[in-house]
Amino acid sequence: MPTLRLRDREFRPGEFAVMAVVNRTPDSFYDQGRTFGFDAALAAVGEAVRSGADIVDIGGVKAGPGDIVDADEEIRRVVDLVRAMRETHPDLVISVDTWRAEVGEAVAQAGADLLNDTWGGPDPGLAEVAAKHGIGLVCAHAGGVTPRTRPHRIAYDDVVADVISHTLRLAERAVRAGVREDAILIDPAHDFGKNTWHSLEVGRRLSEMVATGWPVLVAVSNKDFVGEVLGGLPVAERHAGSLATLAVSAWQGARVFRVHDAASARTALAAVERLRRG
């Protein structure tokens, strides 16, 4: 498996990287706007770094349905924060969660190192932006749904085969566009274009994605499928289930973990690493 290189960091095969989430949105499903304000968001970045985050992922648009946020507003929410992060934490790997090429261009100019496209590549220009600036790209699977929509009765003959086929096509498209191979990750995107059964199937068979050789990112923290499989738990009660799912993903070979609690994730991953070493 290749070494993943982002900014000046190298993440070798067998090493785990924690990606902390900081949302500059007023309607985040997780924190309900706690880090929407600029000062609160920058403080959350600092706390994530102190808690052991290797990467901090900034989001300017709520993933699920909600108020319309156009590209100009998304840029307004994230660019100044990325610029301040770059000044405050010069060695930090900065990721931005966006599917829009114009947003990618703005944050790349501000100092971002990774473009995290959780919606499965609806804008081919995003890969071109990553190539132009020599930064990384996350290639995810969302079942072809429109960003920020929930599919109705979506079905797959084999969800894992569909995930692998789509993410590999995106990774290959990115390479053709000029993105460095050692800066590309693939992500099954649990709950995106998937129901709970699909997300669980992806989780059970994650090793099949790992076997492709591309570094695998997983984002399972406090997701709906975690709450549903545990009897309908609300977001505030999904922490233990999130850590269990993270550990199963790590055991199968996932390498980057997008989480809301960097400290707990770091502890869980350390346990997996020691168990795996015997």
Per-residue confidence in pLDDT tens, the chain, 278 aa: 789 999 999 999 999 999 999 999 998 888 888 999 999 999 999 999 999 999 999 999 999 999 999 999 999 999 999 999 999 999 999 999 999 999 999 999 999 999 999 999 999 999 999 999 999 999 999 999 999 998 889 999 999 999 999 999 999 999 999 999 999 999 999 999 999 999 999 999 999 999 999 999 999 999 999 999 999 999 999 999 999 999 999 999 999 999 999 999 999 999 999 999 87
Spatial contact of 104 and 119, defined as CB atoms under 8 Å apart: no
Helices 159-177/125-133 angle, 10° precision: 50
* Whole-number Å distance between alpha carbons of 230 and 220: 14
Residue 34: both structure tokens together: 């706690």
- Helix residue ranges per DSSP H, 18-100: 38-50, 71-88
Residue that is written with structure tokens 């703005």 in the block: 106
* Whole-number Å distance between alpha carbons of 273 and 113: 26
pLDDT for residue 151: 85
The CA-atom distances, in angstroms, between 270 and each of 49, 204, 263, 275 are 17, 21, 11, 9
* Whole-number Å distance between alpha carbons of 101 and 115: 10
* Whole-number Å distance between alpha carbons of 225 and 222: 8
CATH code, 16-277: 3.20.20.20
For the whole prediction, is pTM greater than 0.95?
Answer: yes
Which residues are paired to 74 by β-bridges?
none
pLDDT for residue 254: 98
